[in-house]
Structure formats: structure tokens, C-alpha cells
Amino acid sequence: MLRNVFLACLALVIAVGGGTLSAWYAVNRFEGFGAFTVGQWTAHPEAGTPLSDPYAKARAAREGAFPLGSTEGLVFYAYSDEQGKTLDRRCTYTIEGNSPNSRFWTLYAADRSLIALDPGADRLPAIHSRQIFRKEDGQFVVNISPKAQPGNWLATTGSGRMVLVMTLYDTPVGSNSGLVDMKFPAVTRIGCDG
């Protein structure tokens, strides 16, 4: 009798514990279904639509996020540089290339829970497509660093991992049929202080 009670309790602990851990993983660590990747940048075009998977809906509800609809825009995330190394706040990076096809875009640095980093006093927390300096061929270079940089500079502070968040507004990128070769700016590590 005691053996049956023990086995029932063990099964209950495994079921509840396993279910809780799998739900935590799905909401906190799982990237979700339907990811769209271009270079280091990843987006979820179905987020904010009725086709969004239940894990994405749970993440949005937990974070209090309000995802853009498919006709409004698309958010891309870069978690690593072009060598596959995780982005670090103490390092200096460049984002270089052409603007993604959109009417307007913004770029900011965030922590792993996608909360924007505080850039420090008298520094802009984000940059956008209408304020950056461009080369003659239309390409741009954005420097991301805790130290002041010439040209387009996105300041970071603190230590630990970070995520670059680029939001494209009024863009056809999410509905791309594959007929157009899309290029996003490359994220390159220049050096690290720590």
C-alpha cells in the first residue's frame, strides 16, 4: 500500500514538475515557431496576428508586449555577431550595410528580457533611419559601444549580454516570397574591454 502511494506521489511530482519546467522553458527560452532569419537577425512575422503560436502569445502576455500587426511592421532581434558570439555590453560593435526595405526603422540595445538599456546621461537610447549619417552609396555604419564613437553611435552601459532590436515599420519583409534577395546590415565585433 505504501509503495503505491509513493509511486503515485512520484508520478504527480514528475508530471507537475515536468509540466512547470517545460512551460517555463517555452515562455522564457524557446524562440517559437515560424522564425524568419536573415543573417544574424531573427523575426517572427506571425507575432501579433491570429496565426501566432500559443507560446508567443504567452510570452507577449507575460512581458506586457504589444506586438505589431503584419501590416504595421516587423521586429528583428540580433543575439550574436557574425561570428556567432553572444553580444556583450562591454564590447564595441559595428552594424554596417544597407537599410532594410522599410519606410522607417529604429534600432536600440536591450537586455535579454528585451528591456531597453539605459545609455547613460545625455545619450540617446535609440537611433532611427531619419537621423543617421550615410555613405555616398546609401549604406550606413552604426557604432555600438560603451565608449564615445564618431559618426552614428548607440551607447551601452553596464555588463552582461545584450540584444539588438531593429523595428521595421511599413515593410514588405515579412511577406517576402523569396524572389528578392534581402540583405540586412552585418553585426561585427570590433573589440572588448572586459
Pairing of strands 126-128, 41-43: unpaired
Mean pLDDT of the chain: 80
Same domain, 60 and 25: no
- pLDDT computed for residue 28 by the predictor: 61
Same domain, 6 and 66: no
Same domain, 95 and 4: no
Same domain, 110 and 185: yes
Distance CA 160, CA 26 (A): 23
Same domain, 165 and 107: yes
Residue that the C-alpha cell 528578392 belongs to: 180
SS3 11: helix
Per-range mean pLDDT, top range of 2-11, 87-96, 107-116, 165-174? 87-96
Contact 131, 137 (CB under 8 A): no
Same domain, 51 and 141: yes
Structural domain count of the chain: 2
Q: Which helix (H) or strand (E) holds 166?
A: strand 163-169
Same domain, 146 and 108: yes
Distance CA 107, CA 28 (A): 23
Same domain, 19 and 96: no
Same domain, 23 and 76: no
Chain segment 14-60, per-residue pLDDT in tens: 988 888 887 777 666 556 666 777 888 887 777 666 777 777 776 66
Least Cα distance to 67 among 178, 191, 174, 182 occurs for: 174
Residue that the C-alpha cell 545625455 belongs to: 122
Same domain, 96 and 175: yes
Same domain, 122 and 184: yes
Domain span holding position 8: 1-30
Strand partners, 164: 78, 109
